[in-house]
A = this chain, B = another copy of it.
Amino acid sequence: MWSFHAFVTRGCLRTYSIDEKGLEHIIYFAIENWWTGDRTSLLTGKPAIFNIDAVEESEVVLINKANFEMLCAHIPAFNTLISGILEKSLATMQNRITSTISYTAEQKYQQFLDKYPDMALRIPQHMIASYLGITPETLSRIRRRP
């Protein structure tokens, strides 16, 4: 079970699932000043379905569920901050679903470069391919084009 909300102070983490064939599928990356964690597990108390590990040497602040809820309940400004982040996460995921179901591989990669230029430089190509839901070979082909 994933018991923490994690705030990244340095580095880069990835959240991913592993399918029955052992293939990894990256749901999202988190770099400095981003929150991460398995929200479903935190919410339901059920075992985490995602794995989280570091893409590069990282530092995170972990806040356990009880403390996190206490902060939300007692500090209105923290609650407002977290609600705002939740809303933004929802918007980001909506956009990701849109591009995943409707963009070509080229468009997906171009959107990633436009939205996350920093990440594009820091994250290994095979992980970017996994995040975009395309094969590493397809990504290489796209990158070789002028």
Chain A residues proximal to chain B, CB less than 8 Å: 17, 19, 23, 25, 27, 39-40, 43-44, 50, 83, 86-91, 93-98, 100-102, 130-133
Chain B residue at smallest Cβ distance from A108: B101
Given contacts A97-B97, A102-B133, A133-B100, contact A90 B27 (CB under 8 A): no
- Residues of B within 8 Å of A39, CB to CB, are 87, 90-91, 94
Given contacts A43-B87, A88-B43, contact A132 B94 (CB under 8 A): no
Q: By the criterion CB–CB under 8 Å, are B100 and A97 in contact?
A: yes
Q: Is the interface of A mostly helix, strand, loop or mixed?
A: helix
Chain B residue at smallest Cβ distance from A21: B102
Q: List 17 A-B contacts (CB under 8 A).
A: A19-B102, A23-B102, A27-B97, A39-B94, A40-B95, A43-B88, A50-B94, A83-B86, A86-B87, A86-B90, A93-B94, A93-B97, A96-B97, A97-B97, A100-B100, A101-B132, A102-B133
- Residues of B within 8 Å of A132, CB to CB, are 101
Chain B residue at smallest Cβ distance from A87: B43
Most chain B Cβ neighbours within 10 Å, of A90, A93, A94: A94
Q: By the criterion CB–CB under 8 Å, are A17 and B87 in contact?
A: no
Question: CA A103 – CA B98 in complex, angstroms?
Answer: 16
